[in-house]
Amino acid sequence: MTHEDHVRLIEKGIRKGSGEVWADFGSGEGAFTLALRDVAGENTEIYSIDKNEESLTLQKKQFEKLFPDSDIKFIQADFMTQLNLPPLDGLIAANSIHFQTDTVKVCKHLAQYLKPNGRFIVVEYNVDQGNMWVPYPFSFSSFQGFAQQAGLTEPELLAAVPSRFLNEIYASLAFKKT
């Protein structure tokens, strides 16, 4: 996927230029973190969380090159541990939840960081059967079925793009219940 694909997947779920606080959980090398910054704008405060130091180092270099004046904090940690974050206006979990067996537990854990009505954007393969590289994906239909158990509103489909692996990738937006 290209940067344009990443932007297209998430842009309908992000307010542009609002100066909000966002986090990308399981950010990897930053494909969706960069897309978030591109869409949200320079006044956005971003927390990029990943347990892999090398991935964060690569991400830092990309931010220095493309968005040098960004307000971004890189946090090397497992996002399932308790993190010291401010209340978030929004979060992205792009291709990161599917490594956890208890999807509802993960979504509840991440939603705790959101302000009431905070935006919860999921990017995931649109299948319910995984493989050794994507062990626990969940389709948009499945996300609709369990989002409320995780304290979220009914998800809406933002966009989908074809994928060479597992058919397609979708982005969905739900809000933290008040």
Q: How many domains does the chain have?
A: 1
What's residue 118's pLDDT? 97
Of 139, 173, 135, which is closest to residue 154 (Cα–Cα)?
Answer: 173
CB 119 within 8 A of CB 175: yes
CB 149 within 8 A of CB 174: no
Q: Which residue has the higher pLDDT, 77 or 1?
A: 77
What's residue 104's pLDDT? 94
CB 44 within 8 A of CB 71: yes
In this predicted model, what pLDDT tens digit does every residue of 76-121 receive, in sequence order?
999 999 999 999 999 999 999 988 878 999 999 999 999 999 999 9
What's residue 79's pLDDT? 94
What's residue 130's pLDDT? 80
Q: How many CB atoms lie within 10 A of CB 134?
A: 16
* Residue 178 pLDDT > 90: no
* Residue 13 pLDDT > 80: yes
Which structural domain, as residue segments, surrounds residue 125? 3-175
In this predicted model, what pLDDT tens digit does every residue of 123-172 receive, in sequence order?
999 988 887 888 889 899 999 999 999 999 999 999 999 888 878 999 99
Task: Give the domain CATH number at 154.
Answer: 3.40.50.150
